[in-house]
């Protein structure tokens, strides 16, 4: 692991799903049958400038109070589009080009699912307690 974030390093999020009779998406941990479709999405980790860009581009100023607030949907949209680097989506046996416009056309449930998986991957969690350092002289 490095202290620098590589633009080339990617992680994969696998999505196993089917569309039910109500035209809603159902997600599964594994592709257990032929009725379940599997797609892969490839994300990168944000570096410092990207993290600043996502936050600052999501700020709105409340017209009444003049206070700056972060629009959570705008933040989610910017974060998702900035970090998503590739996918396996295809239509009529041709890969669907990954564009902002095509991302906007994705099913909202898929975006929510992917965003939660993205956040799980990017959230630092560990089973061990952090090592304590003695900062007192």
Tens of pLDDT along 35-68?
Answer: 999 999 999 999 999 999 999 999 999 899 999 9
Q: Which residues are paired to 111 by β-bridges?
A: none
pTM (predicted TM-score): 0.82
Q: Is the Cα torsion angle 74, 8, 1, 50 positive or negative in sign?
A: negative
pLDDT tens, residue by residue, 74-88: 999 999 999 999 999
53 vs 66: CA distance, rounded Å = 21
CA 131 to chain centre: 29
Q: CB of 117 within 8 A of CB of 80?
A: no
121 vs 104: CA distance, rounded Å = 22
What mean pLDDT, rounded, does the chain reach? 89
Does the pLDDT of residue 100 top 80, yes or no? yes
Other Cβ atoms less than 10 A from the Cβ of 11: the count is 15
């Amino acid at each position: 692991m490095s202290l620098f974030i590589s633009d080339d390093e990617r992680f994969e999020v696998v999505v196993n799903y089917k569309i039910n009779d109500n035209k809603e998406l159902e997600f599964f941990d594994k592709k257990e049958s032929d009725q379940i479709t599997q797609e892969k999405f490839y994300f990168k980790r944000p570096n410092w400038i990207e993290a600043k860009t996502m936050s600052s581009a999501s700020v709105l100023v409340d017209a009444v109070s003049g206070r700056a607030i972060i629009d959570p949907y705008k933040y989610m949209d910017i974060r998702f589009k900035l970090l998503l680097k590739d996918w396996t989506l295809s239509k009529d046996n041709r890969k669907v080009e990954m564009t902002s416009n095509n991302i906007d056309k994705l099913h909202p449930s898929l975006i929510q699912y992917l965003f939660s998986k993205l956040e799980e991957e990017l959230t630092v969690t560990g089973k061990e307690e952090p090592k304590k350092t003695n900062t007192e002289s």
